[in-house]
Structure 1
Amino acid sequence: MKTYVIGDIHGGLRGLKQVFERMSLKPDDRFIFIGDYVDGWSESAQTLSFLINFSETYTCVFIRGNHDEILYNFLKKGDKNPTWLQHGGESSRISYESFSKAEIEAHINFLENLRNFYIDEKNRLFLHAGFTNLHGPENEYYPNMVYWDRTLWEMVCALDKTIDKNNDLYPKRLKLFDEIYIGHTPVTRIGYSKPTHFANVWNVDTGAAFKGAVSVLDVDTKHVWQSDPVWKLYPNETGRN
C-alpha cells in the first residue's frame, strides 16, 4: 500500500484530475487530503462531489482546512462572511447555484466529518496548518488553530539548518512526530514550486489557488506528481490572483 498526501486544491478540480491521470492509482492505496478543497477556481462544489465519489473506491483521509470550515458555515448556516467572499468564497457560492438541496446536504455531511488531524501508524502527523501546543494538536487550547496556524511553518523556515533533533534548540513540538505534513501557506511564497520541507515538516501547498499546481507526494519515497499550473486549466478565470 502506498500513502499519498495531496496539497490544497481550492476548487481546481481539473488540476486534481490531471495529476491523478499522471499517476498509477491502485485500489489499496491511501490518499490523505490536506484540506482547502474549495475557494478559488470555479469548481468548488464539483470538487467535493468528486472527492465523495473518489472515497467510494479508495481509502481516503480528509483533513479540514480553514476554507472548508468557512464554506460549511455558509452551507449550514447561510453565513456569507464578507472576507471569505473576497478570498475565493464568491466562486464557491456561485458553484452551488445549480446544486440540489440533497446534493448540498451530502456536502454538509462531508464537511462535518472532516478530521482536524490524522496520525498514521508511523507516527506521521497530517493537518492543514499547524499546532502551537507543546503536547500536540490533540491538546490545542483553541482546536481551530490546526487549520489556521502559520507559526509552525514560519518557525521551521527560520530554523538553522544545522540544528537537528538531538540539539536542545530543536523545537519541542517537532520532536513529537517523525514527520509532519501541512498545507495552508503556499511554498510559492518563498520561491518553491514543489512540496518543500524544513526540519521534519513537509509543506504540500504549491499554490494551486494562485499560479501553482496541485501536488501529490508519496510520503514514503517523497516522489512528487504535479498538475499543470492550475490557472492554465482555467484560462478565463482569475482564481485567487
Structure 2
Amino acid sequence: MRTLAIGDIHGQRQMLDQLLSRVGPKASDQLVFLGDYVDRGPDSKGVIQRVREWVDRGSAVALRGNHEVMLLEARHSPDYAESWRRYGGIDTLASYAPAYREGSMSDIPQVDIDFLEQTCRPYFETGTHIFVHAGVSPSLPMEEQDDLWLYWEKLNDPTAHHSGKIVICGHTHQRSGMPLDCMHTICIDTWAYSPTGWLTCLDVHSGEYWQVNAAGQSRRDWLDPYESRHRSE
C-alpha cells in the first residue's frame, strides 16, 4: 500500500486528473489531499467534486486549507467576503456560476459547503507521518494545535515535531516547482496555479514523486537521500 499526498491544487482540475492518471492510485493506496482546492485556478468546482469522489470511495482523506477556511468565513462577513474575492475567491465563484453572470456565494451547493466544513479535516496523523496544510507547532501534540499553525503559518526554518514523525505539508509555495525537503518536514506546494508551477503527488514512504504542469508536461523523480530515513520502518 502506498500513502500518496497531493499538494495545493487551486482550481486546476485538469492538472489533477492528469496527475492521478500518471500516479495510478490503486484501491489499496491511501490518498491524502493537503487542502487549497479552491481559488486562483479556473475550476474550483471541478476540483472539489473530484476530491469528494475519492473521499466517497473510501480511498482518500481530505484536509482543509486556508483558502477553504476563507471561503467558509466569507459566508458570514461582507468584509471578509470581499477580501476572499481578492485572494482568488472571484475565480471560485465564477466556476460555479453560469457564463452569463458573475458568481455569488449562493451558487455553491450546500453539499460542497458541507464537504469543506464537515468532511475535510484539520490534519491527518499516521504512525510515521503528520499531514497538515500549513504547519505544526513542534512542541504540541496534534490535538492541541491551533488554527494559526494548521492553516496559516509559512515554513520559516521549520523545527522537527516532538513526536519524531515526518510532517508533510503544503501552503508555502515553492517557486522552483520542486518539493522542499527539510528532512523532518516536506512541503509539496509547488505553485500549481502559476503558469510556471507544477502539481505534485508524493509517495511518502518511498520518496517517489510525480508532477504535472499546465502545459500538459509531466515528470517523475525521488527525494534524495530519502530511503535512509525510512530504512527502519
TM bucket normalised to smaller: 0.7 to 0.9
Distance apart, 1:88 and its partner CA? 1.1
Which residues of structure 1 form unaligned runs of 5+? Answer: 157-170, 234-241
C-alpha separation in 1, matches of 2:87 and 2:178: 23
Match of 1:180 among 149, 167, 179: 167
Alignment of 1:14-163 (within 5 A): 14-74=14-74, 76-77=75-76, 79=78, 81-98=81-98, 104-113=109-118, 114-120=120-126, 122-132=127-137, 134-140=139-145, 142-150=146-154, 153-156=155-158
Deviations 1:162-188 (CA, angstroms, capped at 9, x unpaired) = xxxxxxxxx4x5232320011001122
C-alpha separation in 1, matches of 2:25 and 2:139: 37
Give the stretch that moved more between structures: 76-85 or 63-72.
Answer: 76-85
Give the stretch that moved more between structures: 202-211 or 20-29.
Answer: 20-29
Aligned to 1:224: 209
Distance apart, 1:227 and its partner CA? 1.1
C-alpha separation in 1, matches of 2:61 and 2:35: 10
SS at match of 2:181: strand
Aligned to 1:200: 184
Distance apart, 1:77 and its partner CA? 3.7
C-alpha separation in 1, matches of 2:73 and 2:147: 16
SS at match of 2:162: helix
Query: What percentage of residue pairs aligned between the two structures are identical?
Result: 27
Q: Structure 1 39/101 Cα, relative in aligned 2: closer, same or farther at 3 Å?
A: closer
C-alpha separation in 2, matches of 1:56 and 1:111: 13
C-alpha separation in 2, matches of 1:78 and 1:107: 19
How much is the aligned-residue C-alpha RMSD, in angstroms?
A: 2.2
Given residue 9 of structure 2, which amino acid in structure 1 is its aligned partner? I
Residue pair 1:187, 1:207 contacting (<8 A) in 2 also: yes
C-alpha separation in 2, matches of 1:83 and 1:101: 18
Aligned to 2:220: none
Given residue 198 of structure 2, which amino acid in structure 1 is its aligned partner? A
TM-score normalised by length of structure 2: 0.81
Residue pair 2:140, 2:162 contacting (<8 A) in 1 also: no
Distance apart, 1:78 and its partner CA? 6.8
Residue pair 2:139, 2:162 contacting (<8 A) in 1 also: no
Does 1 or 2 have the higher relative contact order (CA < 8 Å, sep 6+)? 1
Task: Count residues with an aligned counterpart.
Answer: 208
C-alpha separation in 2, matches of 1:71 and 1:102: 13
C-alpha separation in 2, matches of 1:144 and 1:115: 15
Distance apart, 1:132 and its partner CA? 2.8
C-alpha separation in 1, matches of 2:69 and 2:141: 21
Which residues of structure 2 form unaligned runs of 5+? Answer: 217-233
Distance apart, 1:103 and its partner CA? 6.5
Q: Structure 1 21/133 Cα, relative in aligned 2: closer, same or farther at 3 Å?
A: closer
Give the stretch that moved more between structures: 81-90 or 91-100.
Answer: 91-100
Give the 4+ runs in structure 1 shifted more than 3 A: 76-80, 98-103
Aligned to 1:215: 200
Distance apart, 1:87 and its partner CA? 1.8
